[in-house]
A and B are shown apart, each in its own frame.
Chain A
Amino acid sequence: MSAAKNVTTASFKADVLDKSTPVLVDFWAEWCGPCRQVSPILDQIAAEYAGKIEIVKVNVDEEQALAMQYGITSIPALQVFQGGQLVKSMVGAKPKPILVNELAEFLG
């Protein structure tokens, strides 16, 4: 089980949009194999880059409205928000070195 915080429609503003540090939102579901495989990698990145980026989760089964609002049609969808704005969007499970590279601008 991931250590990442579970975010809901109700908490999305406080947990994501109002944060000063970049927040990566992992849109996922229990039945999504690639989501389960990328989850521990995201946990590692969150731990290694603590303070630089925060990683939270949205369960698309439970939060369908939120998934729809952010145009999710494929999971895992990894979206980075900074200053309340969506600044980066990625789709699919990727190996750690590739994710770290894609997130370099936030992890530096």
Chain B
Amino acid sequence: MRDVIIIGSGPAGFTAAIYTARAGMNPLLIASSVESGGELMKTTEVENFPGFPDGLQGPELMANFQAQAERFGTEVLLDDVIEVDLKGDVKIVKTGGGVTYEAKTVILATGAAYRELGLPKEKELSGHGVSWCATCDGFFFRERTIAVVGGGDSAMEEANFLTRFASKVYLIHRRDTFKASKIMQDRALNNPKIEVVWNSEVAELLGEGKLTGVTLRDTVNGATKNLDLDGLFIAVGNDPRVWLVENQVELTAEKFIAVEGRSSKTSLPGVFAAGDVIDPTYRQAITAAASGCVAALDAEHYLADH
């Protein structure tokens, strides 16, 4: 039986791995088969992670996290957890590869998954003009007209990034102000290729087999109008990824994993949670990393007492 299994491979998961590995707990980190590295794998330049004054690429930062975790003996498994049983003293974790692992403690760092607009045809048009990943798909929109939906830092980053390819980028936001950080807002607002469409939401996706445009609804007066587009990038936020554990650990009203105070302790003894899956507010690489550290220390203390 293992001392600790960490589920998730973003900044929270890998920081928990670095700390538990250095504490001699030989962590097994189950990273997922196709989303290893988490959300930062989809970003380009990361400028606000302390210690890197010149910034670095998101995937490079995650490779560093992993190398540091492995240096102290973390075992990284590229597989998906499909089922857990966390109630007993022995925690059971099953993977898509068909292996069952047992551990005394589990750290849940499953992060958050992108949110959909919830419109008809969204699935059908996904990959056919509708995208959630500017760095993956921007390339296909050279000299095209596209739009980004959202008002946070991710929306600003995507819009700015997409101007490398697109001839025109509309930034559609349902309010009259952005919640993004000032530096990111300023970049978007000062970018000559970006035109902000304030107080508007996407009411309908247009096109058969391929996106041709959207219907926008004015959030103030309800008026609708069509906008011709070749591509639509959705950056309207993330939802905590809790399906694995939602019937076992307590969740908050907003469906994040509930933790005790500033700790990482969930409603189950020996089960800790860290990163975006517990954080409705901050959701930064550095806060996730700090949260992973907290979970590692909590798990270490738990093991010492049991």
A residues engaging B (CB < 8 A)? 29, 31-34, 37-38, 41, 60-61, 67, 71-75, 77, 89, 91-97
Contacts and interface: CB of A to CB of B under 8 A. Distances in A.
Contact of A32 (B35, B80, B96, B136): B136
A66 B152 CA distance: 35
Q: How large is the interface on B (under 10, 10 to 19, 20 to 34, 35 or more residues)?
A: 20 to 34
Contacts of A41: 33-34
Contacts, number: 66
A33 B37 contact: yes
B193 interface: no
Given A73-B128, A74-B136, A75-B136, A93 B35 contact: yes
Given A33-B41, A33-B42, A74-B127, A95 B34 contact: yes
A73 B141 contact: yes
Contacts of B96: 95-97
B139 A71 contact: no
B34 A93 contact: yes
Interface string B125-157: 011110101011101110000000000000000
Interface string B25-38: 00000001111110
Nearest to B31: A37
Nearest to B59: A33
Contacts of A71: 128, 210
* A interface majority secondary structure: loop
B275 interface: no
Nearest to B211: A73
A74 B137 contact: yes
Contacts of A77: 127
Nearest to B33: A95
A73 B136 contact: no
B33 A67 contact: no
A74 B126 contact: yes
B240 interface: no
Interface in B247-278: none
B33 A73 contact: no
A73 B78 CA distance: 27
B231 interface: yes
Contacts of A37: 33-36, 78
Given A33-B42, A95-B33, A96-B97, 16 more contacts: A29-B139, A32-B136, A33-B37, A34-B136, A37-B34, A71-B210, A73-B127, A73-B128, A73-B141, A73-B231, A74-B126, A74-B140, A75-B136, A89-B127, A91-B128, A96-B96
A88 to B, nearest CB: 13
Interface in B43-100: 59, 78, 80, 96-97
- Most chain B Cβ neighbours within 10 Å, of A72, A95, A96: A95
Contacts of B131: 73-74
Contact of B80 (A29, A75, A95): A95
Contacts of B141: 73
A32 to B, nearest CB: 5
Contacts of A29: 139
Nearest to A90: B127
A72 B141 CA distance: 10
13 contacts: A33-B37, A33-B59, A37-B36, A41-B33, A73-B127, A73-B128, A73-B141, A74-B127, A74-B133, A89-B127, A96-B96, A96-B97, A97-B96
A97 B127 CA distance: 21
Nearest to B129: A73
